[in-house]
Structure 1
């Protein structure tokens, strides 16, 4: 399977990102839609494809607390194929060289993936959009 992750450069690609996130977060995980669509204009978006089929998405943005990686989503039928790994790998390479700190809010089942890239849980477990998370910071 040919997995590609590219920075979004067109409105058409951004629509594909939003559709993947809608399916994963709003439909599958029952996240409130109004929480899903925020900070889009200040984020750098990425689209993953497997054999040219859109299958994953993520984004990063600069916040007052550092560089936040967000909205990692892989369509159900594409999970377990290394797409999440490729998304994290690509987004980290895209960050400015002096990006620090780098952090994310990880759903519990995604924590082992982020740990492979040096992210460590920090602080207490919390709920976001009805799903348990830990803040993780890149060491």
Structure 2
């Protein structure tokens, strides 16, 4: 893949951009990882959604939401052709920058193979490995 010139991440709430977010998640989680659709699409109305574009092309998606524990970062998905280009890192940075000032407890559930990625971005593993939607994860907390 040619080198990307520009990665842009925006918070989105309009139907057209939300459909792009959901299409990316559908391709990555439901299509590639066989996540059951009913587990993939929950808490949508209470979440803040993000769409990453690489040189103007939809490339990745993510969201955050407030839970009873704190602020949970979720649904980080980057289309296969854009992986390894910095899209995922820009998504994490944008989501963290958007959290409210009082977001003192920030966590996520990382797929096991993504642990090193999140560690480089300031998260650390907490607790045992667990299965979620048929995929192994670790809870990670922002240091």
- With structure 1 as the length reference, what TM-score do the two structures score? 0.98
**Cα deviations by residue, 1:97-139 (Å, 9 ceiling, x for unpaired):** 1102100000012111211221110000000111110000011
Please, what is the CA RMSD of the aligned residues?
A: 0.7
**What are the residue-to-residue correspondences of 1:20-59 with 2, within 5 Å?**
20-59=24-63
Moved over 6 A (4+): none
What 5-or-longer segments of structure 2 have no aligned partner? Answer: none
1:125 aligns to what SS in structure 2? strand
Identify which of 4, 7, 17 aligns with 2:11: 7
**Cα deviations by residue, 1:13-46 (Å, 9 ceiling, x for unpaired):** 0000000000000000000000000000000000
1:116 maps to what in 2?
A: 120
* Cα distance in 2 between the residues matched to 1:53 and 1:78: 10
* Cα distance in 2 between the residues matched to 1:80 and 1:109: 14
**Cα deviations by residue, 1:32-83 (Å, 9 ceiling, x for unpaired):** 0000000000000000000110010000000000000000000001100000
1:98 maps to what in 2?
A: 102
Q: Indicate yes or no: 2:132 matched with 1:128.
A: yes
